[in-house]
Structure 1
């Protein structure tokens, strides 16, 4: 089995003077990501790989998560995750080494929401800081698809 956690970056600053790529998390956004990381830890989530958009708010989210988990491997920053299309995110996932059983993908909407909808039919809100767990009944990432995907849980900020 393979487990994918889709994680939307935390609450971002509203600053029209900055390029979208360079917008940081707010103080509340940082706290929310710390809280959601604690919820994942309470559920004994195991993380073999963290992959993230290189946009500043996603990087900050991934770094907070890694620190909370004691994750010492390099975080994989992939420019494609920023403003990705569905097929591009699917390709990133399917190219993951099979030694990885559980990965967290930190990114942005609408692409993460579309990916969750495509894999497991998730249609509810996917707000900043939320995490969606999807399990795949397969042994290789190359085989992940909506045909073997099962929605397991959504982790929500403050709930």
Structure 2
């Protein structure tokens, strides 16, 4: 496949922090469920539907995906990948660069700081972020949508162009 690809980066929705629960097992809060479903509905309205969704194994990320899919109205292929929970830019880039070239839209559901850091590195033009919900950080439930005009295997800093930011 040649031409533009679409990359979606979704930070998990607002999560609870119950005492005695391991970080990996933290559930979404009600607000996080609403954030996630809103982002999915916004994608449906704009016609952006991922062909593959790679999700962190953390409960809050998996629940974020479930709510997002409810808003999206379809359920594409989902892969739970521990590299997303590792929360490094390098691991996220490994996920992206290992994506099959025939896929045109990839979504990653993960965590900060890696999701926010990667979004800033993909499109290094700060003027496109200015005035958006991710201008000063990457809040829970935020989704960034990037156009990528290189093969997945060549995605690196500076190879994306921020198209949209969705946040409730």
TM above 0.5, yes or no, is yes
Structure 2 residue 68 is the aligned partner of structure 1 residue 65: yes
TM-fit CA distance, 1:60: 0.6
1:146 matches 2:149: no
Q: Is 1:98 equivalent to 2:106 in the alignment? A: no
SS at match of 1:81: helix
Residues 83, 111 of structure 1: 8 Å contact kept = no
Task: Please state if 1:132 is matched with 2:135.
Answer: no
* 1:130-157 deviations in Å (ceiling 9; x for gaps): 001111112x200212343111111111
| CA deviation string 1:72-122 (max 9, x = no partner) | 444100011003211111011000001110111000000111111211135
| Rounded Cα–Cα distance in structure 2 between residues aligned with 1:48 and 1:74 | 6
Structure 2: 5+ residue stretches without partners: 130-134
Give the alignment partner of residue 10 of structure 1, picking from 10, 13, 34: 13
Matched residues in 2 for 1:73 and 1:156: separation? 22
Aligned Cα root-mean-square deviation (Å): 1.5
Aligned to 2:132: none
TM-score, normalised on structure 2?
0.86
Verify the 8 A CA contact 2:57 2:80 in the aligned structure 1.
yes
2:158 aligned with 1:155, yes or no?
A: no
Unaligned runs of 5+ in 1: none
Q: CA–CA distance in 1 between the matches of 2:60 and 2:36?
A: 11
Return 110-119 or 143-152, whichever deviates more.
143-152
- After superposition, the C-alpha distances for 1:17-53 in whole angstroms (9 at most, x for unaligned) are 1000000001121112111211111111121111100
SS of the residue aligned with 2:47?
coil
Aligned structure 1 segments of 4 or more residues deviating by more than 4 angstroms:
none
Output the TM-score relative to the length of structure 1: 0.90
**SS where residue 99 of structure 2 aligns?**
coil
